[in-house]
Amino acid sequence: MKWIGAAAALAIAAPAGAQTFTLLTGWGPNNPTAYMPADRFKTNVEKASGGKVAFKISGPEAVPPFEQMQPLTSGAFDVLYTHPAYHSKGLAVAAEILSVGTDKLRSSGVWGAIDRFYQTTYNLKLLSLVALGTEGYHCYLRQPLSAQGDWGGRKIRGVATQFGVIKALGGVPVTLPMGDVYTAIEKGVVDGACAPAAVFLGTKHYEVAKYRVEPRFGLLVSLIGINRDRWGKLSKAEQAALLEGGAQTERDTARLGDEILRKDNDKLAGLGVQAVQLPKAKGDLIRSEFTSSNWEFLQKCCGDASNEVRELARKAGLAK
């Protein structure tokens, strides 16, 4: 299969003298902000290992983003950087609802519960839950908001975790990979999209959608994990380097994501993008809908594991 060949080619090309891992990413360098956490993780782990661990990165050109969990589970790739909603059992979406730093996710036990779930469900040992800044998602449109201050009747691209937000203001959700969104908006296949706010400039979606909607909602959190069989064969030092690098990446991306968003919004204003504000009641609605609809999503996808995570979050004062 194509992805087996891609992984094998990367392994052959690896430099001698280092334990080399194949890292599969949901985004490529052409989406620099989304790609940044993978590159940061690579750098942090290589530093933590003293150069004894290295990575060869392959992206969505090797395996489509929504299909990447299977080759990780089977061991065709060693490490995966992806968004949890791209896969059917996306328990890590809980981190987006809770919207707190990963230090609190760790101390509350939520991080550990998510780790155990992915090990059992996907044969994936969690290494990092990377939040891209402290601002999460936004929606953007080809045309201004309606006179009612919504996007009623319009087709809006999103992933499953954003469907509640899209429907709350009368939209019709459409699922598309990020790589297809520009053309879909340009050709009128969809009327807009919901996506991470921090990648709007990098994807150049502003060229076809000049209206970005405020307020933003949720927190953008992706995961990095390693095939559990591969993990079990590593030395303690190698495992420690991966965990240390993962924790450092969590700290880095939270800070860098906010810096990127501030700079990007200034550039977007200069490129003619208009920030349009929802009426307060509707802004509050999409934020509350993001939370409630995603707890429902998690209950359906993950059952008892979702209940465990929510209870841990409640005990730590992170959720109601």
Residue-level pLDDT at 177: 87
Average per-residue pLDDT for the chain: 93
**C-alpha–C-alpha distance, residues 54 and 42, integer Å:** 7
Query: In one letter, which amino acid is 310?
Result: R
| CA distances, 283 to each of 276, 280, 297 (Å) | 11, 5, 21
If we measure between CA atoms, which residue out of 244, 251, 302 comes closest to residue 127?
Answer: 244
Q: How confident is the model at residue 197 (pLDDT cuts 50, 70, 90)?
A: very high
Q: pLDDT digit string (tens) for 58-86?
A: 999 999 999 999 999 999 999 999 999 99
pLDDT at 237 over 80: yes
If we measure between CA atoms, which residue out of 139, 134, 146 comes closest to residue 275?
Answer: 139
79 in Cβ contact with 124 (< 8 Å): no
Instruction: Walk me through the domains of the chain, giving residue ranges and CATH numbers.
Output: 2-134+220-259 (3.40.190.170), 137-218+265-301 (3.40.190.170)
294 in Cβ contact with 97 (< 8 Å): yes
Q: pLDDT digit string (tens) for 17-53?
A: 789 999 999 999 988 899 999 999 999 999 999 999 9
**Sheet with 79-82, edge to edge strand ranges:** 53-58, 19-25, 79-82, 221-227, 124-131
Length of the chain measured in residues? 320
User: Judging by beta carbons within 10 Å of its beta carbon (0-12, 13-18, 19+), is residue 66 exposed, middle or buried?
Assistant: middle
Q: pLDDT digit string (tens) for 82-127?
A: 999 999 999 999 999 997 888 999 999 999 999 999 999 999 999 9
